[in-house]
């Protein structure tokens, strides 16, 4: 693409030569800044992979005995040192050949700091002897000395930057957790964050770049455009003052030579009702190509218009080179929760395969206005099923089929992009994909390897207002709006999501403890600090089954941000997977797959199941695959490594055929993306075994494998 002055886009941005590839290392989140999840190591091959053995195991500590903690970290390995994080978000350095600990940093032990959520990875930066680890937890971005683990006092405020600052409006009482690492462009660290997605107020998801030496904010791109900015007219005029979301929570990909950063955004909040944000809603659900030096928008593509289905872009895109119409094209490929792969020219944003705008059903809920069309790529074909018809009801047993059929006839007939309803809307692929945050791997031949989920979920909306339109003002009403989506209307929680039951909360917490938890959040639970004192009191009394006093009636009062809570007329009964009575998915298998897609042609090379339920195999049912979290790694040795599956194994597949070559049972589920590296001539594969998802036990181990010496 040429600019008006005749310069190419690359020349106008300024060429930045990439650093020489350190093939033996895994120096960036998901392997490199292009998010390839690829390694040029070739010591482990299809011929010898079955000989892999455990080289070392490291127990990080910090696992929750109630099985609600996880490790989602894809660790870094640089110069023989592994940098990772524990279930309780402590950061550590290990000898990568032995697993021996070198240092540990505990943010929660530092005055004024706290941790929440999970950590998916870290950032390594070096300039001569100045070597740093950048990582975020809760609302804080920290800079550590890579040699000692101590905070660097010249970065931000004593080594820490508060990410709630610099967003253009006061978000001090709103939820924010930075789970996924940013990406480095020279001395700039480009950051996203996780925000609230429910009917409660949420912060805007603007993308920011910080000076890695000082912590100074250098630029900001407004994902919810301000007046006068491109895209502002795709929202109601005043929406920028209160609507949140449109955030990059999954990570970035960087074309370092061109100086372009690719930013996949999530949906606007509230996920499932957008009557207060009627319109197309740019730049929610977009892949945005920005000048990495300045934050200037170069091009964008929106995958879901006016999202009502929580169709966040779940993973960083992959940068790869393909042969298209007889020539080599540098491309960017984005996997989606809907199970699609969209492929674009990296520099211009032109789709490499046609994309059609397909008519979709209108809204059912009053005040809502679903967008009339949604984009669907004509190639590649989706890697997860798109329709839950009668023919797709599970048949693993007559009892399972009958139970699912009885529920099937009660909900709305399924159609892609069917808007939310009070009767129940089938979402397939479900809220966690299709693709999920583990991402896809891409090799130098233009082949994309992506694991897919085939789990149906049911979305059911419930009103938050009385029949006369007045908002509910009791603790129960507030709970319904901000808590029920995770803990359920019945307060029984969701074990598959790692969400605790609140039925017996009075046995664990008193009123003060509940109020403190609403303020601070804990683990994956965000802060609800925007609630007024009266609202917090009312929620606590409701959970303790106590009658409210005269001064704790829970009226919807407080700041303007808090008042937005009472303006959302619907909430949801929760994120509910659809299981049969035996606890298996309601659809026919496969329930989890691994796919190889040739992006030169848009055709599939192979597709296999990922994971199994041994008890079903023993019944004569072929391997079904399982729901899965965490992505694949592909190597020049023609081996793909992936854990992810609910059966808590790590597996190796033949890159060329998809044949399963090896598997090993882990101490807990490996719901993270592995890393591979070399130390002293020996190739290792390491996986974080944190468990805790899908109702499985939590763990605290990192396990490294290698061939026998």
Asked if 355 and 376 touch (Cβ cutoff 8 Å), the reply is yes
* Residue 144 domain-assigned (yes or no): yes
| Residue-range definition of the domain harbouring residue 606 | 9-386+428-455+589-706
Within this chain, do residues 543 and 623 fall inside the same structural domain, yes or no? Answer: no
pLDDT (mean) for 467-476 = 65
- Give residue 63's pLDDT band: very low, low, confident or very high (50, 70, 90): very high
Q: How confident is the model at residue 14 (pLDDT cuts 50, 70, 90)?
A: very low
Q: What is the pLDDT of residues 291-327, one digit of tens each?
A: 999 999 999 999 999 999 999 999 999 999 999 999 9
Residue that finishes a domain, picked among 567, 598, 628: 567
Looking at residue 600, its pLDDT comes to 98
Say whether both 441 and 474 belong to one domain.
Answer: no
Does any domain span residue 660?
yes
- Beta-strand relationship, 38-39 and 633-635: parallel
Same-domain status, 131 and 47 = yes
Average pLDDT over residues 143-152: 98
Q: Give 6's pLDDT tier (boundaries 50, 70, 90).
A: very low
Of 7-11, 234-238, 281-285, give the lowest mean pLDDT range: 7-11
- Collapsing DSSP states into helix, strand and coil, what is residue 63? coil
How far apart, in whole angstroms, are the C-alpha atoms of residue 202 and residue 705? 42
How many separate helices (H) and strands (E) can be counted in the chain?
A: 8, 41
What is the number of domains present in the chain? 2
201, pLDDT greater than 50? yes
Structure tokens at 134: 């950048």
Does 577 fall in a domain? Answer: no
Residue 684: per-residue pLDDT: 98
User: How far apart, in whole angstroms, are the C-alpha atoms of residue 614 and residue 622?
Assistant: 10
Q: Is the pLDDT of residue 694 over 50?
A: yes
pLDDT for 289 equals 99
Burial environment of residue 665 by CB neighbours within 10 A (0 to 12, 13 to 18, 19 or more): exposed
pLDDT attached to residue 183: 98
Asked if residue 17 is part of any domain, the answer here is yes
- Strand partners for 557: none
- pLDDT value of residue 565: 61
Residue 573, in any domain of the structure? no
| Same domain membership, residue 241 and residue 181 | yes
pLDDT of 30 > 90? The answer is yes
Among 567, 598, 622, the domain boundary falls at: 567
Q: Which two tokens stand for residue 548?
A: 């409210």
Q: Is 635 exposed, middle or buried (0-12, 13-18, 19+ CB in 10 A)?
A: buried
- Does residue 139 surpass a pLDDT of 80? yes
CATH number at residue 497: 1.10.760.10
Alpha helix segments (H runs only) across 149-214? none
CATH code of the domain in which 337 resides = 2.140.10.10
Rg (C-alpha) for the chain, rounded Å, is 24
Do residues 56 and 651 touch, judged by C-beta distance below 8 A?
A: no
Return d(Cα 652, Cα 75) in angstroms, integer: 19
What is the C-alpha separation between 53 and 50, in angstroms, rounded? 9
Q: Looking at the structure, do residues 642 and 556 belong to the same domain, yes or no? A: no
Of 588, 608, 587, nearest to 596 by C-alpha is 608
C-alpha 342/C-alpha 379 separation (Å) is 8
689 within a domain of the structure (yes/no): yes
In a domain, 264, yes or no: yes
- Do residues 612 and 641 both lie within one domain? yes
Phi, psi of 554 (to 5 degrees): 75, 25
| Residue 482 pLDDT greater than 80, yes or no | no
Flag whether pLDDT at 559 surpasses 70.
Answer: no
CB within 8 Å of 272: residues ≥ 6 apart: 308, 309, 310, 420, 459, 461, 570, 572
For the cut 70, the answer to whether the pLDDT of residue 603 exceeds it is yes
Let me know whether 554 and 673 are in one domain.
Answer: no
Strand ranges of the sheet holding 101-105, from the earlier edge strand across to the other edge: 76-78, 81-85, 91-95, 101-105
Query: Average model confidence (pLDDT) for the chain?
Result: 91
pLDDT of residue 549: 54
Which residues, in sequence order, are CB contacts of 619 under 8 Å at separation 6+? none
Question: 117 falls in which pLDDT band (50, 70, 90)?
Answer: confident
- Section 370-396 average pLDDT: 97
CA dist 673 and 694 (Å) reads: 17
546 and 600 belong to one structural domain = no
Q: How does DSSP classify residue 272?
A: S
Is 633 in the same domain as 654? Answer: yes
| CA-based nearest residue to 336, from 452, 178, 215, 165 | 452
* Higher-pLDDT residue of 555, 695: 695
Q: Are 284 and 266 spatial neighbours (Cβ–Cβ below 8 Å)?
A: yes
pLDDT of the residue at 505: 87
Decide if 348 contacts 366 (C-beta within 8 A). Answer: no
Strands across the sheet with 633-635, in order? 38-39, 633-635, 639-642, 649-654, 660-665
pLDDT of residue 9: 43
pLDDT exceeds 90 at position 480 = no
Quote the Cα angle for 52-56-59, to 5°: 135
Whether 300 is covered by a domain: the verdict is yes
pLDDT in tens, 124-138: 999 999 999 999 999
| Nearest to 600, CA basis, from 355, 375, 381, 353 | 353
- Read off the pLDDT band of 350 (50, 70, 90): very high
Specify whether 375 is located in the same domain as 469: no
Model confidence at 497, pLDDT cuts 50, 70, 90, reads: low
10 Å Cβ neighbour count for 40? Answer: 11
| Token reading at 682 | 């020996």
């Amino acid at each position: 693409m040429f600019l008006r002055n005749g310069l190419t886009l690359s020349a106008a941005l300024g060429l930045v030569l990439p650093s020489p590839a350190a093939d033996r290392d895994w120096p960036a989140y998901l392997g490199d800044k292009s998010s390839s999840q690829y390694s040029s190591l070739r010591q482990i091959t299809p011929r010898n992979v079955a000989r892999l053995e455990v080289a070392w195991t490291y127990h990080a500590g910090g696992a929750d005995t109630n099985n609600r903690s996880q490790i989602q970290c894809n660790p870094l390995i640089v110069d023989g040192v592994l940098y990772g994080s524990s279930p309780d978000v402590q950061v550590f350095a290990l000898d990568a050949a032995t697993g021996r600990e070198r240092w540990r940093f505990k943010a929660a032990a530092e005055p004024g700091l706290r941790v929440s959520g999970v950590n998916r990875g870290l950032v390594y930066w070096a300039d001569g002897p100045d070597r740093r680890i950048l990582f975020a937890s809760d609302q804080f971005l920290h800079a550590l000395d890579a040699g000692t683990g101590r905070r660097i006092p010249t970065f931000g405020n004593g080594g820490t930057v508060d990410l709630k600052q610099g967003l253009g409006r006061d978000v001090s009482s709103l939820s924010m957790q930075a789970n996924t690492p940013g990406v480095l462009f020279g001395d700039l660290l480009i950051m996203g964050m996780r925000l609230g997605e429910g009917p409660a107020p949420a912060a805007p998801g603007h993308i920011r770049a910080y000076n890695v030496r000082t912590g100074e904010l250098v630029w900001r791109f407004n994902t919810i455009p301000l007046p006068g900015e491109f895209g502002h007219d795709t929202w109601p005029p005043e929406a920028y003052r209160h609507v949140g979301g449109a955030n990059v929570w999954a990570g970035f990909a960087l074309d370092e030579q061109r100086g372009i950063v690719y930013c996949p955004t999530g949906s606007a909040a509230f996920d499932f009702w957008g009557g207060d944000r009627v319109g197309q809603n740019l730049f929610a659900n977009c892949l945005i190509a920005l000048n990495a030096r300045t934050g200037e928008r170069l091009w964008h593509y929106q995958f879901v218009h006016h999202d009502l289905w929580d169709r966040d872009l779940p993973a960083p895109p992959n940068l790869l080179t393909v042969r298209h119409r007889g020539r080599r094209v540098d491309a960017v490929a984005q996997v989606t929760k809907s199970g699609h792969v969209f492929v674009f020219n990296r520099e211009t944003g032109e789709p490499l395969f046609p994309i059609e705008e397909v008519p979709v059903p209108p809204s059912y809920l009053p005040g809502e206005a679903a967008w009339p069309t949604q984009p669907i790529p004509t190639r590649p074909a989706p890697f997860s099923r798109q329709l839950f018809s009668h023919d797709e009801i599970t048949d693993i047993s007559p009892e399972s089929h009958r139970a699912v059929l009885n529920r099937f006839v009660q909900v709305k007939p399924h159609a892609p992009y069917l808007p939310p309803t009070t009767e129940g809307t089938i979402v397939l692929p479900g809220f966690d994909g299709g693709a999920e945050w583990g991402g896809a791997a891409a090799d130098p031949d233009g082949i994309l390897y992506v694991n897919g989920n085939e789990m149906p979920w049911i979305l059911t909306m419930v009103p938050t207002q009385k029949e006369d339109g007045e908002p509910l003002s009791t603790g129960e009403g507030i709970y319904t709006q901000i808590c029920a989506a995770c803990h359920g209307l019945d307060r029984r929680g969701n074990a598959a999501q790692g969400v605790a039951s609140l039925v017996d909360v009075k046995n664990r917490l008193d009123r003060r403890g509940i109020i403190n938890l609403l303020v601070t959040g804990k683990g994956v639970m965000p802060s609800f600090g925007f609630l007024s004192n009266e609202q917090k009191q009312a929620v606590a009394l409701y959970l303790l089954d106590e009658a409210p006093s005269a001064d704790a009636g829970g009226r919807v009062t407080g700041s303007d941000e808090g008042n937005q809570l009472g303006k959302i007329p619907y909430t949801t009964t929760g994120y509910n997977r659809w299981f049969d009575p035996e606890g298996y998915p309601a659809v026919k298998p496969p329930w989890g797959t691994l796919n190889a897609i040739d992006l030169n042609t848009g055709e599939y090379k192979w597709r296999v199941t990922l994971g199994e339920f041994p008890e079903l195999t023993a019944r004569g049912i072929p391997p079904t695959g399982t729901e899965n979290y965490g992505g694949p790694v592909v190597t020049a040795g023609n081996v793909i490594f992936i854990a992810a599956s609910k059966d808590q194994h790590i597996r190796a597949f033949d890159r060329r055929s998809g044949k399963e070559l090896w598997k090993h049972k882990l101490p807990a589920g490996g719901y993270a993306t592995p890393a591979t590296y070399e130390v002293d001539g020996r190739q290792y594969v390491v996986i974080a075994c944190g468990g805790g998802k899908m109702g499985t036990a939590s763990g605290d181990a990192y396990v490294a494998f290698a061939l026998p010496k």
